[in-house]
Amino acid sequence: MVQNLLTEHFALYSPEETNFFAFLKGEGHFRKYRPRVSLSYRLRYLAHHTLNRLNLDLGRSRKALAYLEAATHARIDNHCASPDRGAVAVFVAHLDGLAQQQGLQGWLEKTPNHVYYLSEICLLVPDARFIHVIRRGEDVVASLSDAARQFPDDRYVHDFSVDIGENCTRWNNAIYASLQHVQDESHLLVFYEDIVCDQNGFLERVARHLAEPVNTRDSVAQLAADSEPWKVRSLGPVAEPDKKFENLFSAQERDQVRKLLDLESYQLLKTAVSSIDEM
């Protein structure tokens, strides 16, 4: 819903979720929010991560670019096999080109897992602008769990999980990642409920953040492709979240979720964002 709002009002091209930096840099779900894994898995990951740090894992950039092609439904003419910066240059140029072909001002890439790679993205794409749309932990956990149950074949690429504890840890670490960038000028942090209450105010804030006027085109991009069926409902207007948390989980599970969520850090983030907005 928010993605649709942004693409329509700022003339942005928006592909399917590319998971580009997750494929390029490594498994973010282990690196950032998978607290308990076996020793053998840790050793395999350490070896793999070491190869990546030494820029020896050339297959990672090829895989990231292959998924970029699939997400954009457009062939990349210049496949760059060198790690990190070379592949990122192709990533940016490819999306720039697709936006220009459609007469649009820019592009919006919305892969949720990219929140775990913000520091790397800031270095590799220094002129990027970031918008954090922060949702209540209960709603996020319910959405992730529901997607994992409904679309089990998409778990690997889109990192869906039926494990409540893992989904809670995932949300917690996303909050921690956003907290690290509260003061960064290239990052705009907004809460979903604030967008629901004042959509025009949100668009004005984004316009200032992007230094771009609000566009009034009727339609810019198709967001929910056949490969992303969980997004079909997001094509409507920004609205209050449904009662998925109450309907999906039992009372015991709801209590478990609330105990596992770091609501103190969430409140700290709200306070920090509020203080910046008042400046």
pLDDT for the residue numbered 225:
46
Q: What is the pTM of this model?
A: 0.81
Looking at every residue in the chain, the average pLDDT score rounds to 81
Q: What are 184's two structure tokens?
A: 């960064």
For residue 191, list its beta bridge partners. Answer: 134
Structural contact between residues 245 and 125, judged by C-beta atoms closer than 8 angstroms: no
Sign of CA dihedral 31, 33, 34, 35: positive
Q: Over 60: is that where the pLDDT of 32 sits? A: no
pLDDT for the residue numbered 241:
67
Residue 188: DSSP 8-state:
E
The fraction of the chain above a pLDDT of 90, given in percent, is 56
Q: Over 60: is that where the pLDDT of 254 sits? A: yes
**Every domain of the chain and the residues it spans:** 2-277
Sign of CA dihedral 247, 249, 255, 259: negative
pLDDT for the residue numbered 27:
57
pLDDT band per the 50, 70, 90 thresholds, residue 26 = confident
pLDDT for the residue numbered 35:
42
Question: For 205-216, what is each residue's pLDDT tens digit?
Answer: 999 999 988 875
Helices (H), 180-250: 192-197, 199-210, 244-248
Question: Out of 3-7, 23-27, 61-65, which region has the weakest mean confidence (pLDDT)?
Answer: 23-27
DSSP 9-37: HHTEE--S---HHHHHH--HHHHHH----
Higher per-residue confidence, 27 vs 248: 248
Helices (H), 151-198: 155-158, 164-179, 192-197
Higher per-residue confidence, 252 vs 228: 252
C-alpha span between 104 and 174 (Å, rounded): 30
Question: For 71-96, what is each residue's pLDDT tens digit?
Answer: 999 998 755 545 555 889 999 999 99
pLDDT for the residue numbered 219:
44
pLDDT band per the 50, 70, 90 thresholds, residue 59 = confident
Q: Over 90: is that where the pLDDT of 11 sits? A: yes
Q: Could you count the other beta carbons within 10 Å of the beta carbon of residue 102?
A: 13
Between 3.40.50, 2.160.20, 1.10.3470, 1.10.287, what CATH number should domain 2-277 receive? 3.40.50
Tell me the mean pLDDT in the region 181-188: 95
Give the end-to-end CA distance of the chain in Å, rounded to a whole number.
28
pLDDT for the residue numbered 36:
45
